[in-house]
Structure 1
């Protein structure tokens, strides 16, 4: 169950390399990706995002940006903090998203985790609590701990009884690091299952954006992103030949292009 890929410089590069491995070797258990720059991209990678997005839309699947937004709703972020972002998101959620069933509700679980089963039990904003904790550590108001910052996505009360259409992202761990005056925040995410064409590229982009948001809110630099898929596969509900053609058409620009300086990083395209 330990099946690591060579570290990749960007989310798109990580996706291309892992998708090619699945194409060559079939389903993988314990597949681990490590991305050195979770919000970066090199020339040519935005074209890959657009190509995957067009393929998904042509097959009546959710596009890359839709999947990314289930993890971090970038279009709602105005740079005014987690409380304002949560308020805007929950307004949209109450109008539309609760009608879609459980899929697409990762961010809702992050900012409105139920405290209990009662109607008036209230909720916990996991992101706000973690950001406050990280800020306190960063400022010296609280003792530094590198192993206490986590976000739960799997809920036994909601998820154990379902065998189909369950959440795939189960858990996120945030890892703050300090080195003198340098403060860095990395992330590890665990998936119970990953459809690599329909979900994984959008997941990687969304996780990178989520990490960048939390780091910025807490006063940290963006660190690395690690993803473990306890099961990873090429989507069984898509034609295998068409999937193979898509993966073959997506070369890895990062294999021949130097990464941009982290201080001058560009953000991934949202197709």
Structure 2
């Protein structure tokens, strides 16, 4: 049975979900859903929680932080520096120099640069999405359209298509990988009452090591798409089809319980 957690902000929603997982058998849950009304709001207490999580991660997962995880979804600092559309090329060039061999890249790279079906040319699904949302303000605005579990992204996002979806799973690259593959499977954008909502679906989600950073990154992506397309932001919904409280990432079960209980 699905578990639905409502929250006004990212951090309290993550904390409630993590505490729920701490009480589950094997610290796992199926179809754990977070629905966050105002994902762009962070107060001082939220920042303190993020700082504490960063400290735990740095002690047990060297090189990992909430911000490094967030930047795999959207390069917010590069966008602020170079603006759209220049930041696209800057990011692709940076990844070409810094990407590890054998890795699959980042979610942001898959959103910004995809190889076309002809195997030769590339296209930018994220930019296409922004332009289609911009155009919807001048013509008919579709609230909910085709899902890319069925429709090919190249055709769904073309000029005469009605898609507002961003798939992250790449069959050509990922079909033979049982592990070391993207956990974020799909991003769906919907216009509701003039506001832009975003829904993210994860096939597997580690709540200690990844989720808080994922939520920050999704918030940054949400802000980018809404700002550039001229929509007010709405709700952020995150579905973890398999959610795990990976206590080793925080130093073990006792350390994780103590950390979660230390927050108000």
- TM-score bracket, normalised by the shorter chain, equals 0.7 to 0.9
Secondary structure of residue in 2 paired with 1:175: strand
**Aligned partners of 2:180 and 2:100: how far apart in 1?**
15
Superimposed CA distance per residue, residues 75-110 of structure 1 (whole angstroms, 9 cap, x where no aligned partner): 1012764321211111111110254712x5100000
Contact 1:82 1:128 in 2 (8 A): no
Superimposed CA distance per residue, residues 210-268 of structure 1 (whole angstroms, 9 cap, x where no aligned partner): 001000000001111000000101116442222222222233xxxxxxxxxxxxxxxxx
| Number of residue pairs the alignment of both structures matches | 241
Q: Give the aligned CA root-mean-square deviation in angstroms.
A: 1.6
Look up the match of 1:3: 3
Which of 67, 71, 74 pairs up with 1:69? Answer: 71
Look up the match of 1:170: 185
Shift of 1:177: 2.6
Runs of 4+ aligned structure 1 residues displaced above 6 Å come to: none
**Aligned partners of 2:82 and 2:97: how far apart in 1?**
22
Which 5+ residue runs of structure 2 have no aligned equivalent? 145-162
Pick closer, same or farther for the CA change 1:167–1:109 going to 2, 3 Å: same
**Aligned partners of 2:185 and 2:132: how far apart in 1?**
22
Secondary structure of residue in 1 paired with 2:44: coil
Answer yes or no: is 1:205 the counterpart of 2:216: yes
Superimposed CA distance per residue, residues 149-204 of structure 1 (whole angstroms, 9 cap, x where no aligned partner): 110101111112111111100000001134xxxx3101000000010010000000
Which of 206, 228, 235 pairs up with 2:246? Answer: 235
Which of 85, 88, 91 pairs up with 2:90? Answer: 88
Shift of 1:34: 0.2
Contact 1:82 1:127 in 2 (8 A): no
Contact 1:195 1:232 in 2 (8 A): yes
Answer yes or no: is 1:128 the counterpart of 2:127: yes
Shift of 1:67: 0.2
Q: TM-score, normalised by structure 1?
A: 0.84
Look up the match of 2:164: 149
